[in-house]
């Protein structure tokens, strides 16, 4: 897929709903995990389902993900990026330094 195709997928409402559902399901599993990079996104999603939107572009950027991907494919891609996103949430150093 091209970058434009990936962006278009992130704007697809059905895709967004499927990722939100998968992320919510995973949040309920990972909230009790011992690894901070798994717990941080889980807490964010449990507090606000809108936090799942962070995964729209991360999952869409995974190889072979399209609007026709199965729920299993989307779940596998979500699980692959979950700890990477979570690590960014728990990173000790700020992502942007204060001026």
pLDDT, tens only, 12-65: 999 999 999 999 999 999 999 999 999 999 999 999 999 999 999 999 999 999
Please report the pLDDT score of residue 98 as a whole number.
Answer: 53
pLDDT band at 89 (very low <50, low <70, confident <90, very high): very high
pLDDT of residue 91: 84
Residue 46 located in a structural domain: yes
- Examine residue 76 and state whether it is found in any structural domain, yes or no: yes
Measured between alpha carbons, how far is 26 from 29 in angstroms, rounded to an integer?
A: 5
* CB 64 within 8 Å of CB 9: no
> Tokens 């950027």 — which residue?
61
Q: Could you give the CA distance from residue 88 to residue 36 in angstroms, rounded to a whole number?
A: 11
Instruction: Tell me, yes or no, whether 43 lies in a domain.
Output: yes
pLDDT of amino acid 96: 56
Confidence band for 72, pLDDT divided at 50, 70 and 90: very high
Contact criterion met (CB below 8 Å) for 9 and 54: no
95 vs 32 pLDDT, higher one: 32
- 19 located within any domain: yes
Q: Please identify which residue in the block is written with the tokens 């699980």.
A: 79
For residue 16, what are its two tokens? Answer: 């967004």
Residue numbers of the domain that contains 32: 3-90
- 3-state SS, residue 69: coil
Two structure tokens written together for 73 = 């494919």
Answer yes or no: is 96 within a domain. no
pLDDT at 1: 84
| pTM for the structure as a whole | 0.88
Domains: count for the chain: 1
The answer to the question of residue 25 being in a domain is yes
């Amino acid at each position: 897929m091209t970058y434009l195709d990936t962006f278009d997928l992130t704007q697809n409402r059905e895709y967004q709903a499927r990722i939100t559902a998968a992320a919510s399901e995973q949040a309920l599993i990972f909230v009790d995990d011992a690894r901070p990079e798994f717990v941080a996104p889980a807490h964010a999603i449990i507090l606000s389902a809108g936090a799942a939107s962070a995964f729209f572009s991360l999952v869409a950027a995974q190889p072979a993900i399209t609007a026709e991907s199965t729920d299993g494919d989307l779940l596998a891609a979500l699980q692959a990026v979950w700890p990477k996103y979570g690590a960014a949430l728990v990173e000790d150093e700020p992502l942007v330094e204060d001026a």
